[in-house]
Amino acid sequence: MTTFTKLDDGDQPGIFVYPSHKLSKINDNVYSGFTEHMGRCIYGGLYDPSNPNMHLIDDNGFRIDVIEAFKELSVPVVRYPGGNFVATYHWLDGVGPRDQRPKRAELAWLGVETNEVGTDEFMKWCEVVGTEPYLALNFGTGTLDEALGWLEYCNSEQDTHYANLRRKHGREKPYNVKYWALGNECWGPWQVEQMTKEDYAKKAYQWAKALKMQDPSITLILCGENGVSHWDFHVLTQCLKPDVHALGGSATKSLIDMHSIHMYTAAKDPITNALAPRLAERSIEICAGLIDLARQVNQVPATVPAPTICFDEWNVWDPARAPGETGAEEQYTLSDALAVAVWLNVFVRQSKYIGMANIAQSVNVISPLMTHANGLVKQTTWWPLLLFSKYMRGSTVAAHVSCPTASGSEHAWLDASAAMGDDGWVSLVVVNVHPSETFDITVQGVQTSAAEVEKYVITGESWQATNTETDQAVKIHENKWGGKGPCSFAKMSMTMLRWKPSGGA
């Protein structure tokens, strides 16, 4: 957690880091991804066998450059196949011989789904990348029987119908898919078979019982809204209940392991845009309180672990600027890159409550990666994601920021988080959203035996700077800082400082 003190304009800002004060573990799954059958995410993103540049394509039809990018990020989990798409998706359409798979009208994004990529292809892609799959179940046109069949196909070692169907399709060993979502945004008016909170809670609870009876090892994710709604409160109080029957008599397990919330941010004003992800901080805190309240109301024993929050859709997205029906291909700016940095600061600060976070999405669709026939573009938002994924792991450590706020608002010019890795290195991220002022600040708590502190800066010439096939206007600039005296935090920038504390720092 990072605390904050508001200063008057002209006062000297301060940054304080306390490496010995570890607060909570940062779950590696915070740096997870999301791929949906939407726009060019799957076809042309993950899978591109018709690309004339065959050196970019492996023997499975997957894009090698995309695989390498995922490996560079060390993405631990990837959600699939939706998203809104999943509300009419029938997994059986996407298995077996490709020439026998049906083409279906796709209602979420108003297209045609060829089913050329399905369960086995996605599982193969995950194995190549070195990531875990996270599957969302069809709560729209799907049935419980269909969901149980998919779970059996993926995870069962038994001599049963769907496990044998998997074997028939060439996969002897089960995939052992751990993460399963109980629907997606079922509360939304854009959903096929939108539900009331009452109908969803009843259905989710019954499905959870059946799914855990079949495979008690799985992690089930409840469909929440934004963490602060009547929907969230109702489904949590109805679904976070002791159920020793469905759990084989155990008083140390829960039917529901995580609660999903979604949020996208965007604003025309670049400063407001960069700071908007702070809204998610309050949502996380309130949602964590609702989880605690539901457990108290339902007298859930303390021996049962509390569900964590699965923030499995987050990003900067303006649907008016990049409509989903046309592929949602955002061209991101420096302002958007700083917004992503603030998003990630929030997740680090709130690591006590976050079990997973999935940037939506991972390729082409509102994504830090954009493919084209000859390669890919790493958008402005790629660079903060890369630095966080590489270095902001381990444990959140205490920090404090004091600085002035933007005129007419309570939003501080500086946003920060700090972490200590398992290797003993401290990483501090500071986002400066001031449009014209570089802050020179003495950072308290930097005690290192090294001669210098590593310094990484992401910035650009203007708020609207973007990256293209020919120009990386926003990228990482690496240099050093002596560790003593003021450190400069440039206007419109994200700065990461890294050092190994000496002695008992």
Catalytically active residues are 185, 313
H-state helical runs in 8-118: 64-73
CA dist list (Å): 318 to 33, 274, 331: 19, 13, 11
Instruction: Please report which helix (H) or strand (E) contains residue 415, including its range.
Output: strand 414-420
As given in the structure block, the two tokens for residue 188 are 């939304």
- Say whether the peptide bond before residue 307 is cis (omega within 30 degrees of 0): no
214: nearest Cα among 174, 261, 167: 174
- The DSSP bridge pattern shows strands 132-136 and 77-80 to be parallel
Distance CA(473)–CA(461), nearest Å, equals 8
As given in the structure block, the two tokens for residue 344 are 């990630």
Burial bucket for residue 174 (CB in 10 Å: 0-12, 13-18, 19+): middle
Instruction: Look at phi and psi of residue 355 and say left if phi exceeds 0, alpha if psi is from -120 to 50, else beta.
Output: alpha
469: nearest Cα among 16, 2, 65: 65
Distance CA(439)–CA(459), nearest Å, equals 14
As given in the structure block, the two tokens for residue 230 are 């009547």
Cβ(51)–Cβ(373) under 8 Å?
yes
310: nearest Cα among 368, 350, 363, 369: 350
DSSP 169: T
- The DSSP bridge pattern shows strands 426-432 and 493-499 to be antiparallel
As given in the structure block, the two tokens for residue 263 are 């949020």
